[in-house]
Amino acid sequence: MRVSLILLLLSAPAMAGAQARPAESWAALVQAAGAYARDDSVVGWSVVQVRGGQIVNHYEAGLADRSVGQKVDENTLYHWASTTKTMTAVAILQLRDRGVLSLDDKVTKWIPELRRVHNPFGSMDDITIRMLLSHSAGFQNPTWPYKHGRPWEPFEPMDWEQLVAMMPYQEILFLPGSRYSYSNPGFIYLGRIIELITGDPFQVYIQKNIWTPLGMTRSYFNYTPRHLESFRSNSYSRYRDTTGGRRRDTLVANGREFHTGITTANGGWNGPLADAGRWVAFLLGAPPGDTARSRLYDMILRRSSIEEMWRPVVPVDSTQSRSMGLSFFITTRNGTRYLDHSGDQQGFHLFMLLAPASGAAVIFAFNTSPGDDQPAPASYEAMLTTAASVLKASR
């Protein structure tokens, strides 16, 4: 995540725009997103607003692929990176509700190979599924430590056996369950558990049990299906040089296709904003009176289980104002609860911000992100602050 959302929410003034009309709030958000895109040399981007179970506003700008002049439109396919984790978490809760696992199960019950990891704080049997879901198990953040730019290096490990081979050379970094630390491997292990229990590859399980019932027909994992290839966005890494006091941005195209390998459960989802809107609408719940949709959503995962995912498990920062639930970040400001998750991979940057009380959400997708350590411009924080205001205006 490029900035801490809690900082901007706590520092932003209360919205005078509580009196602002929704159309004015939306126009302000588009303007703020455009300002960020210009400041950070974003090639192409989209933003949508979800309310009442559907996309009520959308805006697209820039290019999906500079080399062919392909414009971003409603059909543009983005890579959603770590927002995939929210689907992995829902899949785990589905299996819990079916009675085939417990969130308090020892992870080694399902993945005994993890006993090979060194745990200076005790036994690897102390780590639970709940700890993986809340990023509190003590595993490291990156999955694959070999990222030196050599041509032989894979983008991500492709086989489970590669991860198992690395386990004796890894260690737990803190007492499991004692604190938060974002970890990609934790969600790969959750994906492995889903496969071991169901007998389905992770991708197949998600397709059968989440995407198909929700009508997410243009979502897919890893390489783009042929019938959707023309809609796929390229992605760009932005490198900034300020030598001599002058700013020069260089954009490097990463290519349209890449494979997340064994890390798919951690960040392999691709799809258009329309499918992301369907996903967020499901998370927010059926609009009042829509009994058919309510039955569908409850069939996928009952409402009480969704709410359980939004209860704090461990604090994310020292103020304890921002917490980690079961895969969702949780922030409360002035009585308003916000949920969010971002994704950054291979030049794509995505962000989802939900306000359950208003049944509304804002989703951003950018096909450009920094390839260096330059901090996000102030306009990025301003954009997210405006998004929070839009969600308040939806109440």
Highest mean pLDDT among 10-14, 217-221, 370-374, 389-393: 217-221
Q: How confident is the model at residue 1 (pLDDT cuts 50, 70, 90)?
A: very low
What is the C-alpha to C-alpha distance for residues 253 and 367, in angstroms, rounded to an integer? 10
Residues 45 and 21 in one domain: yes
Residues 235 and 327 in one domain: yes
CATH at 318: 3.40.710.10
Q: How confident is the model at residue 153 (pLDDT cuts 50, 70, 90)?
A: confident
Residues 248 and 349 in one domain: yes
Phi and psi at 59, nearest 5°, equal -150, 135
Single out the residue of 256, 294, 200 nearest to residue 77, CA to CA. Answer: 256
pLDDT digits (tens, 9 = 90+) for 340-362: 999 999 999 999 999 999 999 99
Residue 207 lies in a domain: no
Identify the domain containing residue 173 by its residue range. 92-198
Pairing of strands 78-79, 236-241: unpaired
**Residue 153 burial (C-beta neighbours within 10 Å; 0-12, 13-18, 19+):** exposed
What average pLDDT score do residues 6-13 get? Answer: 43
What average pLDDT score do residues 206-227 get? Answer: 98
Flag whether the pTM goes above 0.85.
yes
What average pLDDT score do residues 246-256 get? Answer: 93
Residue 173 lies in a domain: yes
pLDDT at 147: 67
Instruction: Look up tokens 């439109």; give the residue.
Output: 73
Q: Are 303 and 297 in contact (CB under 8 A)?
A: yes
**Residue 369 burial (C-beta neighbours within 10 Å; 0-12, 13-18, 19+):** buried
Give the strands of the sheet with 368-370, arranged side by side.
Answer: 248-253, 236-241, 368-370
What is the C-alpha to C-alpha distance for residues 273 and 215, in angstroms, rounded to an integer? 13
Residue 334 has pLDDT above 80, yes or no: no
CATH at 171: 1.20.58
Single out the residue of 302, 356, 365 nearest to residue 328, CA to CA. Answer: 356
Residues 77 and 35 in one domain: yes
pLDDT at 5: 45
What is the C-alpha to C-alpha distance for residues 344 and 175, in angstroms, rounded to an integer? 27
Number of independent structural domains in the chain: 2
What is the C-alpha to C-alpha distance for residues 265 and 195, in angstroms, rounded to an integer? 10
Rounded to the nearest integer, the mean pLDDT of the chain is 91
Residue 225 is encoded by which pair of tokens?
């299906």
Residues 47 and 132 in one domain: no
Phi and psi at 317, nearest 5°, equal -130, 170
137, 165, 198: which is the final residue of a domain? Answer: 198
pLDDT at 133: 98
152: Cβ contacts below 8 Å, ≥ 6 apart: none
Lowest-confidence pick of 7-11, 179-183, 325-329: 7-11
